[in-house]
Amino acid sequence: MKIAVFSTYHYDEEFLNRYNTGHELTFFTLALHADTAPLANGFDAICIFVNDKVDKAVLEILKAAGIKLIVLRCAGFNNVAVADAKAMGITVVRVPAYSPEAVAEHAMALILTLNRKTHKAYNRIREGNFSLERLMGFNLHNRKVAVIGTGNIGKAFCKILSGFGCKISAYDLYPQDEVKAMGVQYGTLEETLCDADIVSLHCPLTPETQYLINQKTLKLFKHGAMLINTSRGALVHTKDAIKALKSGQLGALGLDVYEQEGDLFFHDLSEGIIQDELITRLISFPNVLITSHQGFFTQEAIGEIARVSFANIDAFCNGEELKNKVD
């Protein structure tokens, strides 16, 4: 099968070539959108990532180009108009669980860094400043952490929190017995948020969860609580989060995702002027830590993404059951 692979970097090429099961791959560094969709002409399938945009207009171009399969090398599929793809006879597959531990561990890394201020200590020491002033954190032991979403990643995150001796509460429309067995207490969203020291988001982006964290829900937070988002940027209403940071209602914010990240993340913009005023405002806060959608980025996760992607492609080519089909 001839496959056009969009939004690629050297690590994508390395791992996709390593796990390739005999398909013809052409790599494009460009993201997929209406202007770049014509590049798919002459291919049977496309392989895309989180910031590629596949709306109805793009799908029409892909359909005309003869694309039969869209291979998502990620778990989320909110960037694809799935219903329109189905109506056009284009199959969509994804990688539902490549390494839950990778993202869960990154969420904990954000918490530890923000809390113990190791990023600031690192810079101080390099400048010869060995002072401990303004570096005080708090013990995670016995602190309440609210986990919003207890799917594969949320469950892995709960296991990590258990090791730190945290008190864990959770909100999920579908509570899991395995998570309950860890001692996690499920409740309503309001109950889960109200007295947590840390709130960590691990739910997908859907019409129901868009801007789940907004002016109203931020008021439910314990004053000075920490918010962590390693899921999807649009779970958090950025302007409302900035207001909460300014008032002190939000004590710290750790982001690995951002609702307008498509024009920013994965790119080197160090020689230019960033035009996004919201993210430049966030960067200016001393209690905000932003990473560039890095949570998934481990050897194990990238390898699993490549392996499952080709398994999906092979199943499609062989007319086998598509276990990871998105309907």
3-state secondary structure the chain: CEEEECCCCHHHHHHHHHHCCCCEEEECCCCCCCCCHHHHCCCCEEEECCCCCECHHHHHHHHHHCCCEEEECCCCCCCECHHHHHHCCCEEECCCCCCHHHHHHHHHHHHHHHHHCHHHHHHHHHCCCCCCCCCCCCCCCCCEEEEECCCHHHHHHHHHHHHCCCEEEEECCCCCHHHHCCCCEECCHHHHHHCCCEEEECCCCCCCCCCCECHHHHCCCCCCEEEEECCCHHHECHHHHHHHHHHCCEEEEEECCCCCHHHCCCCCCCCCCCCCHHHHHHHCCCCEEECCCCCCCCHHHHHHHHHHHHHHHHHHHCCCCCCCECC
Please compute the mean of the pLDDT values over residues 9-32 and round it to a whole number: 97
Return the pLDDT at 327.
Answer: 86
For residue range 49-94, what is the model confidence (pLDDT) as tens digits?
998 999 999 999 999 999 999 999 998 899 999 999 999 999 999 9
For residue range 227-236, what is the model confidence (pLDDT) as tens digits?
999 999 999 9
For the domain spanning 100-290, the CATH number is: 3.40.50.720
Label residue 253 by pLDDT band (50, 70, 90): very high
Rounded to the nearest integer, the mean pLDDT of the chain is 96
pLDDT of residue 306 exceeding 90, the answer is yes
Label residue 262 by pLDDT band (50, 70, 90): confident
Q: Percent of the chain having pLDDT more than 90?
A: 95
Please compute the mean of the pLDDT values over residues 20-42 and round it to a whole number: 97
pLDDT of residue 98 exceeding 90, the answer is no
Residues noted as catalytic: 232, 261
- Tell me, yes or no, if the two domains 2-98+299-317 and 100-290 fold the same way: yes
Return the pLDDT at 214.
Answer: 98
What distance in Å separates the CA atoms of residue 253 and residue 225, rounded to the nearest whole number? 9
Please compute the mean of the pLDDT values over residues 10-31 and round it to a whole number: 97
pLDDT of residue 263 exceeding 90, the answer is no
Return the pLDDT at 75.
Answer: 87
Return the pLDDT at 97.
Answer: 84
Return the pLDDT at 191.
Answer: 97
Greater confidence, 309 or 99? 309
Return the pLDDT at 225.
Answer: 98
For residue range 111-145, what is the model confidence (pLDDT) as tens digits?
999 999 999 999 999 999 999 999 999 999 999 99
For residue range 160-176, what is the model confidence (pLDDT) as tens digits?
999 999 999 999 999 99
pLDDT of residue 237 exceeding 90, the answer is yes
Please give the model's pTM, rounded to 2 decimal places: 0.90
Domain extent listing, the chain: 2-98+299-317, 100-290
For residue range 182-223, what is the model confidence (pLDDT) as tens digits?
999 999 999 999 999 999 999 999 999 999 999 999 999 999
- What is the topology classification, in CATH, of domain 2-98+299-317? Rossmann fold (3.40.50)
Return the pLDDT at 133.
Answer: 97
